[in-house]
Structure 1
């Protein structure tokens, strides 16, 4: 009997949580689906290595590579055209790529009555940097939000339909760093803020809420996956190896009271894998689904309801449409 086919398009799929997600989906769904995977990646050499490795162990899978840098809008628009030529529909769009430029830690921030919250969110502990790209947009916002938003816009023809039945599931990788204090509606790109990563993820949360409010009737559903605190190439390069070993040991002990210490990419991908198996019509439209672990290192998923109001989500979405429109004009003029 032929197995049904599922089409997955993913950003950030060549390392970390994204790569772990693909490895797990290929292994855990092999008796249920044939997967057609499209990896949108900046480094094609790395992408070819990952494709070769995955194809060798999962020969039934069809894996395409498309060059795309989420920080470069022109690259995103070009990649979207290729994807539209490849697929008539997309079942899952995983918007997972992201950057967290850290220039250091402020350990004095741990001396606080709010230490548990700060350990959960990284607020005030992580010293972040945020330069501008060639369009004058902060790099963190461009990479984490703008590129993904414009990709989503361009792929509307294969993500939506004229029916409410589920056609596509858009899954954003968010973060507990997305606290409301990191975000300002007057500075949505966080050009002047001190928590650009948290701000970018807050915008993502608002976009997901609005997509559900406006696109569900067209068969497009959106969810938020939060991987917990895990050490990947994105955040694991600013401390020497021996110090990271000590930090990981301490974080492992903290699992007794803080179950978001997932630490590994495998554990962090738990919520992304879990969402693959869910009917998005039955999920809460204003929640994020978080990867967590117990003291025995067993991963599970928990739900956290967001405090974002529909009116706020709509305003954020409208601002994103305005920003993306301005960038399109810049590209057209050049």
Structure 2
């Protein structure tokens, strides 16, 4: 019997941690793609405390840097020949304008561009598995704004719009994966689990501004346990959720701009050109 392998980004805190702790008995091996290796080591110990028979590997990956994603993918491809389930979980909310090291708006880089590249690089391993599953953690915040050019380096910054568009990008990515690879057995799901409330991004602006932004986001906040259950439902029921977008575990019809095929095509094509790759 082939060893079952889960790979997950952003596993050391919040939703990612809550999710992976619940999956210790679902997979034989878990790959933790994380930026903070100390937190990764502590999480590994916690996972092994729950299941001593589990294999846990830590792979350094900064989901805001394209070079880090390339290095992480190379490490994984050198060590493994398949991945049964890839969970693109890592994401940020930034209340102030910031750029990634590659010059992109930071939320678009971290929440969309780097996960897109990672998925592209690891997809051959996913397709070489028995399960063939990709879960994209999106957000109901995609409803905040339709996609608009320039996609990756906007001239004006809005925390709400920027976050919403990065999560709309996630949704488009999941749709693209389903459209291109479902007939080959790939099961792709976009999940809105809700956001786990943190202080992320609040330190860069005044408390008044930050509190106002997070008040607007408040309807999307959930507990770690609530959010994890949404992702777990998709992991454990791949056929039920394949090709769909779900909000808190319920399959949901997306808003009009979330199902804009023409804009999705333009956005995906621009992504491929930006990353200098041929296809997702």
Q: Of residues 209, 212, 216 in structure 1, which corresponds to 2:178?
A: 212
**2:42 matched to which residue of 1?**
49
Distance 1:13 1:229 in 2: 14
Aligned ranges 1:172-321 → 2 under 5 Å = 172-179=136-143, 181-184=145-148, 186-189=149-152, 191-193=154-156, 194=158, 195-232=161-198, 234=200, 263-280=222-239, 282-283=240-241, 285=243, 287-291=244-248, 301-306=249-254, 307=256, 308-321=259-272
Give the aligned CA root-mean-square deviation in angstroms: 2.7
Task: Report SS of the residue matched to 1:171.
Answer: strand
Q: Distance in 2 between the 1:232 and 1:261 partners? A: 12
Q: 1:273 to 1:139 in 2, by over 3 A?
A: same
Alignment of 1:22-61 (within 5 A): 22-26=20-24, 30=25, 33-61=26-54
CA deviation map 1:36-75 (0-9, x unaligned): 1000011111111111121122111111000010111101
Larger radius of gyration: 1
2:18 to 17, 20, 23: 20
Counterparts of 1:100 and 1:40, CA distance in 2: 19
- For structure 2, list consecutive stretches of 5 or more residues without a partner in the other structure: none
Check conservation: 2:133, 2:238, Cα contact below 8 A: no
Look up the SS of the partner of 2:41 in the other structure: helix
1:63-142 equivalences under 5 Å are 63-102=56-95, 129-142=96-109
1:83-125 CA distances to partner (integer Å, 9 max, x unpaired)? 11222111110001011012xxxxxxxxxxxxxxxxxxxxxxx
Structure 1 residue 134, shift from structure 2 partner: 2.7
Shift of 1:325: 1.4
TM-score, normalisation: structure 2:
0.84
Q: Distance in 2 between matches of 1:166 and 1:312?
A: 33
The 1:232–1:168 alpha-carbon spacing in structure 2 relative to 1, beyond 3 Å, is farther
Ranges in structure 1 where 5+ consecutive residues have no aligned partner? 103-128, 252-259, 292-300, 327-334
TM-score computed with the length of structure 1 as normaliser: 0.71
Q: Which runs of 4+ in 1 moved over 6 A?
A: 235-240
User: Structure 1 residues 53, 66: closer, same or farther in 2, change over 3 A?
Assistant: same
CA distance in 2, matches of 1:289, 1:36: 26
Once the 2 structures are TM-superposed, how far is the Cα of residue 278 of structure 1 from its aligned partner? Answer: 1.1
Residue deviations 1:202-236, cap 9 Å, x none?
Answer: 01111111111111123323211111253246478
When residues 191 and 10 of structure 1 are mapped into structure 2, their CA distance, relative to the original with a 3 A threshold, is same
Q: Which structure has more helix as a fraction of its residues?
A: 2
Task: Tell me the distance in 1 between the aligned counterparts of 2:79 and 2:9.
Answer: 16
